[in-house]
Homo-oligomer: A and B are copies of this chain.
Amino acid sequence: MSYSAPIKDMLFVMKELAGLDDVARLPGFEEATPETVQSVLDEAGKLASEVWAPLNVTGDREPPQWRDGAVSATLGFKEAFRQFVDGGWQGLAHPVEYGGQGLPRLVGAACLEMQKAANLSLATCPSLTDGAIEALLMAGSEGQKARWLPRLVSGEWSGTMNLTEPQAGSDLGMLRARAEPQADGTYRLFGTKIFISWGEHDMSGNIVHLVLARTPGAPEGVKGISLFLVPKFLLNDDGTLGARNDVQCVSIEHKMGLKGSPTAVLQYGDNGGAIGERIGAENRGLEYMFIMMISARFAVGMQGIGLAERAYQKARGYAKERVQSRPVDGSSSCPVTIVHHPDVRRMLGTMRALTEAARAVALVAAAHADRAHRHPDATTRAEHHALYEFMVPVVKGWSTEMAVETASLGVQVHGGMGFIEETGAAQFYRDARILPIYEGTTAIQGNDLIGRKTVRDGGAVAKRIIGDIERTVQALEASPAYADDAALKAMHKHLAAANRAFSHAVDFMLENAKADPNAAYMGGVAYLKLAGVMLGGWQMARALIASHALMHEDPAFHGAKIATAHHYATHILPQAAAFEATIVAARGGEGMLALSEDLF
C-alpha cells in the first residue's frame, strides 16, 4: 500500500491536544462521538489508501487532456471522485440543512489531510467546491443557497475560485474582468481568468465558478470588486441543467507538478457575455473572498501536511528496504538497511517531526474554528476566532514550506534513485513546490501575520499565545519524569528559547510595522517561520507531556512520539534564534533594502 492514513496520530492529536471531547460537546456536534469519529476516519482512510492513492502517480504521468475546450480528467479520476461523492465526503463538515453531515472541522481537517496525501491533484477539486459552498453560505441569498448549495454539498457539482488575471496575481486591485448588469437582475461577465484549478473537467455535472469582477463605474482598486457566480451550465427554472454558458476553457497549463489537476485559462464573454449572479453586495467581493480564503489557506496547509506524510512514508519504506554500508558504530560487519545510518535517521526524524508538529498545529487550529463557530458564549467564540485567524497563515505558510523541505529530504533518502521518476519520490518534490505559492505566497502569509494578526490588535493574541507557551514550558519542568528525561529537558530548554525569540520578534513587529515597514516586512517570512517553528514546538511539547502520561497504554506509539518530540526540540526549535536574528537585523534598512534596483 503506497499510503496508510496516520489515524492513530490523528486521534491522539484530536483527543490530547485539540480537545475533541470538548468540541463534541458544542451545540450541534453531538454526533461527533468517539466511535463516530473513529469510524469516519477509518472509512476516509480506506477511500484514501485504496482508491485515491494508487491513482496519484497516474495523474502525474497521464495528466488531463484539453481538446476543443473540453478537459478530460486522468483515467480513473472520475470513478474515484464518484466514490467520494457517493460516500458523502464533500458534505462532511457542511450544514445538515443543505445535505451535509455537520461534523466538526476538526474531523473534516483530518479527513482532508488523508485526501491530500492520497492524491493531491484530485483532492484539489473538492476543496474548491468547499470554497464555493462557503461563499454561498456567507453571502448568498436564500434563493441562491437553495438553488446551488444542495448539489455542491453533495459533490454532484464542483466549484472554482476565479481571482487571478495575467496582470493581477497577488495584487487583486489590478483585476479588469467586468460584469455588466442586465435588466433581469443577472450580469454578463467578460474577461480572462488564469490559474483556475479544475476550471474545466468532466468529473461533475456542472461547474460553479466564483468570479471576481468589476461592475460599471465601480471604484478603482480593491474597493470596486464584486463576487459573481457563473455556472458552466445555466439552470432551468426547475433546477435542471440548461444551456451552456459563455465561459470557455481556452487552454490548460503545462506545470512542473500537480499535473493531475488541470489548471485552466478561462475566457468569459467571447460570445455575448457569460451569465452570472452577483453574490452578496456590490463592491464587497474582495471581503467575501478574503473570508473564503481563510478556509482555502487552511486547506492548502493540509495539502502540505498530507504531502509531507506521504513523502515520509515513501522514504521510510525505502530506508527499511535498501541495504547499503556497514553501521558507523561497528555494530555489524555486514551492510545494513539504511534506516540504521544516523543521517538517514536524522532525515526521517526531521520529516516526521515537521509533519507531526504541523498536523498538531493545524488540528488545534481547526478546533479553534469549531469553538469560534459553535461555542454558546460570544466572548469565547471571539477568542477562539482570533486564535484561529492568527494560526491560519502559519498553517498555510509554514506547513507548505515544511512540505517542500520534507519532500526534498524524501528524495535525498532515496539517493540516486530519488532522481529517477519511476521511483515516485520526485513527484512529491515537484508537486510540493506550488504549495508555498498559491492561495497567497509565503511572503503574503507573513505580511498577513504581521499586519492583520499581530499589529492590528496590538499584539494581544500573539502575547496570549506566548503566555500559554510559557505555561507549557513550566509544565515540562513540572512533569514527574523531568529529572531523568532527556526529551523533557531538551524540549524545556529549546521551547523556552524559541518563545523568547518569538516574543522579541513580536515586539519588533509592533515597533516597526508602521514606523519602518520595509524593515518589518523584510522579516515577514522569517517571522512566519519562527511562529510555525514555535507553535509546532508548543504542540510537540504538549504531546510529549501527554505521551509520558499515557505511556502505559501504548508504549510503542508514545515512545515514538517522545523520540519525535525530542528530535523536534533539538533539530527544529534551534532555528528560532536564527529567524529572530534575521528579523531584527533589517532595522536600519541597509543591505539589500538600500541597494539600487540596477545593482541587482
Chain A residues in the interface with B (C-beta under 8 A): 164, 167, 169-171, 173-174, 195, 253-258, 316, 319-320, 323-325, 328-330, 335, 337, 339-346, 348-349, 352, 404, 408, 411-412, 415-416, 418-422, 426, 429-430, 433-434, 436-438, 441-443, 446-447, 486-487, 490, 494, 517-519, 521-522, 524-525, 556, 559-560, 563-564, 566-567, 569-571, 574-575, 577-578, 581-582, 585-586, 588, 590-595, 597, 599-600
Contacts of A443 in B (CB 8 A): 341, 343-344
Contacts of A256 in B (CB 8 A): 419-421, 426, 429-430
Contact with A525, one of B343, B348, B577, B599 (Cβ below 8 angstroms): B343
Do A436 and B415 form a contact, CB below 8 Å, given A345-B593, A591-B349? no
Contacts of A173 in B (CB 8 A): 325, 335
User: Would B433 and A415 count as touching, CB distance under 8 A?
Assistant: no
Sample of 6 A–B contacts (CB below 8 Å): A412-B436, A416-B437, A556-B599, A566-B592, A577-B577, A577-B578
Give A167 to B416 CA distance when docked, in angstroms. 12
Give A404 to B407 CA distance when docked, in angstroms. 12
Give A170 to B415 CA distance when docked, in angstroms. 9
User: Would A169 and B588 count as touching, CB distance under 8 A?
Assistant: no
Do A257 and B419 form a contact, CB below 8 Å, given A486-B590, A578-B578? yes
Contacts of A330 in B (CB 8 A): 517
User: Would B437 and A164 count as touching, CB distance under 8 A?
Assistant: no
How far, in Å, is A500 (CB) from chain B's closest CB? 14
User: Would A171 and B325 count as touching, CB distance under 8 A?
Assistant: yes
User: Would B342 and A593 count as touching, CB distance under 8 A?
Assistant: yes
How far, in Å, is A57 (CB) from chain B's closest CB? 13
User: Would B420 and A437 count as touching, CB distance under 8 A?
Assistant: no
Give A413 to B63 CA distance when docked, in angstroms. 26
How far, in Å, is A29 (CB) from chain B's closest CB? 33
User: Would A585 and B571 count as touching, CB distance under 8 A?
Assistant: yes
Give A487 to B590 CA distance when docked, in angstroms. 8
User: Would A518 and B486 count as touching, CB distance under 8 A?
Assistant: no
